[in-house]
Amino acid sequence: MTSYSVAVIGLGSMGMGAAQSCINAGLATYGVDLNEQALATLKANGATAVGTDAKAFAEHLDAVLMLVVNAKQVNTILFDLGLADALKPGTAVMVSATISADDAKAIAAGLEQRGLLMLDAPVSGGAAKAAAGEMTIMASGSEAAFAKLQPVLDATAGKVYTIGAEIGLGATVKIIHQLLAGVHIAAGAEAMALAARAGIPLDTMYEVVTNAAGNSWMFENRMKHVVDGDYTPTSMVDIFVKDLGLVADTAKALKFPLPLASTAYNQFVNASNAGYGQWDDSAVIHSFQGIELPLNVTPEAKA
């Protein structure tokens, strides 16, 4: 299906997998990132072209998939750097960053002024599901946006949840999801920290929990990093500072109390303040004092 062209902007752990899934589905796939190694990897894996600026490919594109970190990056790429002005009218932009509903609405308005479609479509599932084309996508937008992006959705998603037509609904569902994800990581870290203080071997504690009722996907995935002492980031502590901040902002706007999410947010802020912001988000465990933890791989050592 090489007549359909998509640019994937942001080739991190999720973006790289999504781009590879688009290639595997037969889409003409363009990769955009500032990381030259990521660009080289995607090109070697069959991308039509790669580069640091999507405007170079804009005239060829039917769709753009944005897997960047936050709303600031989305706005910078689309509006400050001029990608939105370079795209053909009718091009669909799938914004998959975790952002607020208000930011999603503002971005959609800017795209609409330029004759472009937007799908508010946050994603989840981790790097492995992204690489397998099995992400979970929670999306809102017009029927036209869904239709234009159907080849991208088919290529990258195991499940697509249509939340509604209103931009911002997808963003809100993802924010609520991130409440759970952040609380699960913080709770898992607290449990493993207590085990360390009690002198329980962490690998034993991990095996017990992952084969018992207290397990969660986040515990099983992230606390393995703690057991291995490997904090190479696939998602960083600072990502959850941002995401749980969005959770708090959403709750504030709705005048709704979130005691567990607030506590988890403070744990991630503490870890970031202690210097672990760029480490894997499981490094929130390092906000606890008076315990000894394995430490084998850090982002600095990996670099």
Catalogue the active-site residues.
Answer: 174
Please give the structure tokens belonging to residue 198. 């009690």
Query: Which residue carries 């290529």 as its tokens?
Result: 155
Gap between the terminal Cα atoms of the chain: 38
Query: Angle of helix 259-271 relative to helix 237-254, nearest 10 degrees?
Result: 150
Please give the structure tokens belonging to residue 18. 């999504």
- Sign, CA dihedral 248-251-257-259, equals negative
Asked if 202 and 228 touch (Cβ cutoff 8 Å), the reply is no
SS3 state at 121: coil
Dist CA 154 CA 21 (whole Å): 10
Beta-sheet pairing, 157-164 with 5-9: unpaired
Beta-sheet pairing, 5-9 with 28-32: parallel
Asked if 236 and 252 touch (Cβ cutoff 8 Å), the reply is no
Please give the structure tokens belonging to residue 70. 């936050």
Beta-sheet pairing, 63-66 with 5-9: parallel
Please give the structure tokens belonging to residue 216. 């969660």
| DSSP code string of 246-261 | HHHHHHHHHT---HHH
Please give the structure tokens belonging to residue 224. 């393995």
Helices (H), 199-282: 202-210, 217-228, 237-254, 259-271
Secondary structure (H, E, C), 187-204: HHHHHHHHHHHHCCCHHH
